[in-house]
Structure 1
Amino acid sequence: MDRLASMRVFVRVVELGSFARAAAALDMSAAVVTRNVADLEAHLGTRLLNRTTRRLSLTETGAQYVERVRHILSDIDDADAIASSSARQPTGNLRIYCQPGFGQAQLAALLPHFAASMPGVVLDVTLSDHDVDLVQEAYDVGIFIDLQKFDSTLIARRLAMSTVVLCASPEYVARHGAPATPLEVAAHPCLNFAYEQLRHHWMVEWEGKQVSVPVHSRMVSNSGVVLRHAALAGMGVMLQTSFSVKDDFDRGRLVRLLPGQRLGQLSVMMVYPSRRLLSAKVRGFVDFMSAQFPHPESDPWLGAGMA
């Protein structure tokens, strides 16, 4: 048995959820795919997949095994890339994890430019705000903001700082006015992220002091996109990151409130595993993103319309 080949077949079966689909993707017969998985199970002395006539599912052991195998195969591919011509000509899948707000507002527009510079790289992008283990889940690189946690043993490079801004639509301001002081925010309906620390109070720096402002939430959501649409529709005032609303400010769809007050800043971090030699595809992406954000200590989205 070629254990490495069987591992690759097993991972493909899991990803596609079917022996037949894996066989088609790998240009093998279904019988060969089935035999590879069976040989792997026999070698390990345990069942990795539960099989029925209608579906496949991982056993508990299989779920643990597939994550380790993905990591092993990724390491092997990276080692091969470094030792071969693909180290000079990036190829293969690049798995990217990204915080949703940044992914939708910024990364989505950048990826086509990166893809054009590396035609041999296939982008596999996941947007999520759940805790993630980049190494365990075989991601090549992750983009996080301060509110998220990541393994401190990994390499972390700041891309930029993003300012937290208070904003509303011009129509809302025309109807209800704009708060002149932080305490006046309490009289406005707020569009609020579903973080416990933000649900009832917002911290604002006012006259040199940190002030806890009580807020009334008209809407609470874990999605910045949902809150942004509510703000655009004039439902209330919203706290948001500068990278999420720059285009709306530039186009006049939203206006900044309390511009002189400091509501906080968040770091946008690019993170990748430190123990692995960087393949050309990862190095290329790291270099590309670093070039897009040459001043990591500043906020590139806080333009004249947001000051």
Structure 2
Amino acid sequence: MLQRNTRRQHLTEAGKTWYQDSLGVMAALRSAEGRIESLRQFPAGSLRISAPTTLGSCVVASLCSEFQLRYPEVYIELELSDRFVDPIAEGFDFAIRVGQLPDDSPFVAQRLGDYKMVIAASADYLSSHPAPQSMADLPAHRCLRNTLWNKRNAWRSGSLPLWPENTVFSCNDGHALRRAALAGAGLILQPQLLLADDIRQGRLISLLEHALPAPRPIHLLWRQDVRASAKHRSFIDWMREQAPAALA
């Protein structure tokens, strides 16, 4: 690599090649370090997020879009599903969950708000069916049922279901049930965030407010190691600041 004599030394051709290649390697390392440091300081890169279908379509999608307006270098993949997702096994950066978390949950959790339910019907339906005054009146009404909700999160008193199992219309999608209620098909039990605009505009009328199930907590979950980069820190801060008002 070096040629020496009694007064000086200089690089051989092989030494010059090694030196030039080393400069390139060092420059690449410095560039990689700079990119990593930039990721720590400025939100950029991809985020994979899992959320329940109705909550995701009504609230989370808008919050993600607004987040991207502030941080346009962040790319988001939002998967909406009512199945139980394993964020670690399936490679999600964040998961949004409704309901109480187990004491031994392996995730860090940030509470975002409450998942409230409402019972409602259209004015057309109520014009031909007297409004129910108690849960005992429900069997006399045409009720609409969410098949997934009844199976997984059954509204119960002890072991007894409080929403009729024998209904005139059932579906596994809250948006479809909403359309049926708007058409006058019957009473609906669905999340407030899905029906709030319809109730405010008078398209649906809220009923039996004294008999509603207790609100369930909504949490943002993430692995304990994801706060290392700016995109994760910024998304956590964004959801903590913006979600409560969107869920109110």
Q: TM-score range by the shorter chain?
A: 0.7 to 0.9
Q: Distance in 2 between matches of 1:108 and 1:212?
A: 32
Unpaired runs of 5+ residues, structure 1, are 1-78, 302-307
In structure 1, the residue matched to 2:134 is 181
The answer to whether the 8 Å contact 2:143/2:188 transfers is: yes
Post-superposition offset of 1:235: 0.7
TM-score scaled by structure 2?
0.76
User: How does the TM-score come out when normalised to structure 1?
Assistant: 0.62
Deviation of 1:286 after TM superposition, in Å, equals: 1.0
| Distance in structure 1 (CA, Å) of the matches to 2:104 and 2:172 | 23
Q: Distance in 1 between matches of 2:173 and 2:37?
A: 43
Give the Cα–Cα distance (whole angstroms) in 2 for the partners of residues 164 and 81 of structure 1.
Answer: 49
8 Å contact kept, 2:39–2:230: yes
Aligned match of 1:84: 37
Instruction: Show the counterpart of 2:90.
Output: 137
Query: C-alpha deviations, 1:190-242, integer Å up to 9, x for none?
Result: 1111148569x85479xxxx984645311222211111111111111111111
Alignment of 1:240 with 2:193, yes or no, is no
Q: Note the aligned Cα RMSD (angstroms).
A: 3.1
Unaligned runs of 5+ in 2: 1-31
- Matched residue SS, 2:120: strand
Secondary structure, aligned partner of 1:217: coil
Larger Rg: 1 or 2?
A: 2
The equivalent residue for 1:227 is: 177
- 1:96 corresponds, among 24, 31, 49, to 49
- Structure 1: how far apart are the matches of 2:109 and 2:166? 37
1:130-155 per-residue CA deviation (whole Å, 9 max, x = no partner) reads 12111111111111212899981111
Instruction: Select which of 106, 111, 120 maps to 1:167.
Output: 120
Match in the other structure for 2:61: 108
* 1:2-151 pair list within 5 angstroms: 83-146=36-99
Residues 253-282 of structure 1: per-residue CA shift (max 9 Å, x gap): 211111222323221111111244432111
Check conservation: 1:202, 1:214, Cα contact below 8 A: no
CA deviations on 1:161-188 (whole Å, 9 max, x unpaired) are 1222111112211221210111001111
Residue of structure 2 equivalent to 1:271 = 221
Matched, 1:251 2:201: yes
Equivalent AA in structure 1 for residue 107 of structure 2? L
**Aligned counterparts of 2:163 and 2:46: Cα–Cα separation in 1:** 47
**Counterpart-to-counterpart distance in 1, 2:71 and 2:64:** 11
Deviation, 1:127, is 0.5
